[in-house]
Amino acid sequence: MATAKITIKTAADIEAMREAGRISARALKAACDAAEAGVSTKEIDQIAEDLIRGYGASPAFLGYGGFRGSVCASINAEVVHGVPSKSVKLYRGDLLSIDTGAIYKNWVGDNANTVVVGGDEATDDEGRRLIAVTREALYAGIEQCVPGNRLGDVCAAVGAVGQAAGLGILRDYVGHGIGHQMHEDPDIPNFGRPGTGPRLEVGMVFAIEPMLTLGGERVMRRRDGWTVVTADGSRAAHIEHTVAITADGPDILTLP
């Protein structure tokens, strides 16, 4: 992919994106905090939407390609794009991945997290390890977001952590550039070769989002047309930040 296709943001643009990112991060935290046994994913969706709108922003996901929610709520073997529903209730020990996005003054913030319903002690060692390694993979990728590196350095860093842990690394779904649009160039796979791809420049902004499983990498979509599940039924985790490349290194824009 040619570097010219990647939109370069000014310092002022990045500060504006930080506001969108902060709103999305607050919505994500509120949604994760509400993840208790007996709560429906639609209730979580409403909490996030109300918070986003309360800050004068709009949910980036609602209506996107026809999506019927303000968050993606994916449980256990559901990796990403789970559709919120009144009929889907959470159970203690579930691994819940929540993805939120906010549009504020025409800029988009996008982030995700995976939590254990009932707290970390409510799941097994493998569930806790999956989440911890996914978070480690995210930050390994973020560390590579410095001017002069290549995009492949980011992708390879994420993949190396997942591979070393023996986890499945999704290949069909990837991170992405972000700005006025939620999905911009470039695609950011969670695997790759160091030293390849476009050279990173100040002003590039990426949504980096490892998606790892306790089994294989193969996935399929449910009949709702959205929910992506592991083909082998293994549990999955998804953690994401929006990150700007600055002269001082990576700048995470999705912090509450």
pLDDT tens for each residue of 149-203? 999 999 999 999 999 999 999 999 999 999 999 999 999 999 999 999 999 999 9
- In angstroms, the CA 248 to CA 40 distance is 42
Q: How confident is the model at residue 2 (pLDDT cuts 50, 70, 90)?
A: very low
Whole-prediction pTM value?
0.97
23-72 pLDDT, tens digit each: 999 999 999 999 999 999 999 999 999 999 999 999 999 999 999 999 99
Domains of the chain, CATH where assigned: 8-252 (3.90.230.10)
How far apart (Å, rounded) are the C-alpha atoms in residues 221 and 199? Answer: 34
Residue 169, classed as helix, strand or coil, is strand
pLDDT at position 204 is: 98
C-alpha distance from residue 23 to each of 45, 89, 110 (Å): 15, 26, 10
Query: Average pLDDT of the chain?
Result: 97
Distance of CA 26 to the CA centre of its chain: 14
| 123 DSSP assignment | S
Q: What confidence tens digit (pLDDT) does each residue in 98-117 have? A: 999 999 999 999 999 999 99
Asked if the model's pLDDT at residue 3 lies above 70, the reply is: no
User: Coil, helix or strand for 103?
Assistant: strand
Q: What local confidence, expressed as pLDDT, does residue 214 receive?
A: 98
Residue 4 pLDDT > 80: no
